[in-house]
Amino acid sequence: MPTPFLAGNWKMNKTIDEALAFVEAVKGPLEAIDAVDYGICAPFTALAPLHDAVAGTRIKLGAQNMYWEESGAFTGEISPLMLKGLCENVVIGHSERRQYFGETDETVNRKIKAALEHGLQPIVCVGENLEQNEAEQTEEVVSTQVRGAFADLREDQVRDIVIAYEPIWAIGTGKAATPEQANDVIGNVVRATVADMFGTDVAEQMVIQYGGSIKPANVEELMSQPEINGGLVGGASLDPESFVTLVQVTYEVKIQNAGMGG
């Protein structure tokens, strides 16, 4: 089983002081939790101070986006070279980036390649909107996104990638796919597409998160699903107590109850 990975996506929230206060609040409670990976994907402004704040802890640090060029006349963009050494992960292709900022499967693919080239682990987001879901196009849309994102990648590169399946209709809406729905799409669409492209071994080892209104009230049910290897968490990751609860429950369900705890 892949090591479960729970990542908080703070989106456009938290000042530097608020970010540092959050880390200070979660460091102690998270210290006792092993065998589960956890991290924060913070705004660019907070990455440098957070890099120092999480030093010596198991808290991973991630960015929420990046451009694919190393440098140049791209006003307002952040390059992989600027992130290298500051963080471990970078979210690529989040639905909000696709919806509001024109990201496509092609640009997602270019960003993935640039991230990998510079030692950053991508968290690649895929998912369908409500209209596509209701038209029963989930499999077609999600599979196409995975194939587009991973085009021309090698098997050894794909092993280093995390995928987050996030049904767009469940992000920030308070709605969530049922655990069974999420498990089905992750197993029979996302993981199956990776297996078709790169082989079953790669697919079975890949961490595939669920994203979409994960909260303390539903995390146990979601993490009990065998195909879900963690979560990309939005609003519920902004509160320290809530985030610790999500990590703790993920550990209990995926590790402790399975008899794999350290």
Quick check: is 94 catalytic? yes
> DSSP of the chain, one letter per residue?
-PPPEEEEE--S---HHHHHHHHHHHHHHHHT--SSEEEEE--HHHHHHHHHHTTTSSEEEEES---SSSSSS-TT---HHHHBTTBSEEEES-HHHHHHH---HHHHHHHHHHHHHTT-EEEEEE---HHHHHTT-HHHHHHHHHHHHTTT--HHHHTT-EEEE--GGGSSSS----HHHHHHHIIIIIIHHHHHHH-HHHHHHS-EEEESS--TTTHHHHHTSTT--EEEESGGGSSHHHHHHHHHHHHIIIIITTT---
Provide φ and ψ at 96, rounded to 5°: -70, -35
- Cβ-count burial of 151 within 10 angstroms (0-12 exposed, 13-18 middle, 19+ buried)? middle
Among residues 94, 96, 103, 128, the one annotated as catalytic is 94
Among residues 88, 96, 103, 166, the one annotated as catalytic is 166
Catalytic residues: 94, 166
